[in-house]
Amino acid sequence: MSTHPTKLKRAATGDLVDAVLHDSLDLDDLFDAEKHWAPEKIEMSRELLNHNVPRALWPQSLHWNWAKKAVDLKPYAPGPLSAHRLFGISAEGKWQGLLLARCVGCQTRIAPGGRDLVYVEFVETAPWNFRIPQTGRDTLFKGVGAQLVELAIRWSDELGFRGRVGLHSLPQSDSFYGGHCGMNDFGPDPNYQNLRYFELDESHARTYLQET
């Protein structure tokens, strides 16, 4: 596994804290993260219930349980001969977010022509990085999502895909991908339960990576 030092911002104080970018993780890391995130998710559910927060405002990934889907996940497992790669970011000894991406079988929708891209299968952040104003819960760290996306863009670039990346965002994250990341919004995709499909084009990817 290779790692790269980075920083995250502690939302409460504005301080930058040391963090680590990881590439080539495996499913054990995903389950490890889930094991640590689960108690926090239960606590968050309790807070949401106690504050009578409408179900529509709950974090849309709160009920995800990858361990329950362990058998279904096998075809998506990163490893030798796999088209999948799992990236992560950790700080203070805990996983802060993970991103699973695939490099085979996905082509750009921007202009039909068969150009490949890296497809992001999922992004999930640690529950303590959700902000829920209704319960007074604030994000612990900021900068997780953008840096995970950066790794997917870098992988796409190294594969010769010029940074092209596609993904299906959860509705609560649409503004992040359409806004901060500057991805093209292709609207709801009926093949993915009407999640909106976003795609980063080459020029935006170039801008993204040149900011170093």
Segment 28 to 87, residues that bind another protein, using CB under 8 A: 28-29, 59-61, 63-65, 69, 72-73, 76, 78-82, 85
The piece of 24-32, 36-44, 45-53 that touches another protein (CB under 8 A) is: 24-32
The distance of closest approach from Cβ of residue 52 to another protein in the complex, given in angstroms and rounded to an integer, is: 18
The distance of closest approach from Cβ of residue 50 to another protein in the complex, given in angstroms and rounded to an integer, is: 21
Q: Binding another protein by CB under 8 A: which of 2, 13, 50, 52?
A: 2
Half-sphere exposure of 188 (CA within 13 A, CB side): 4
Q: Is 7 in the site for another protein (CB under 8 A)?
A: yes
Rounded to 5°, the CA angle 88-181-145 comes to 25
Please give the residues from 99 up to 128 whose contact with another protein meets the rule CB under 8 A: 99-100, 107, 109, 112, 119-125
Please give the residues from 144 up to 183 whose contact with another protein meets the rule CB under 8 A: 144-151, 154-155, 158, 167-170, 172-173, 175-177, 179-180
Q: What number of other Cβ atoms are within 10 A of residue 121's Cβ?
A: 15
Tokens of 145: 């999502």
Tokens of 82: 């796999």
Please identify which residue in the block is written with the tokens 């170039």: 206
The distance of closest approach from Cβ of residue 173 to another protein in the complex, given in angstroms and rounded to an integer, is: 5
Q: Which residues contact 69 (CB under 8 A, 6 or more apart)?
A: none
Q: Which residues contact 105 (CB under 8 A, 6 or more apart)?
A: 83, 119
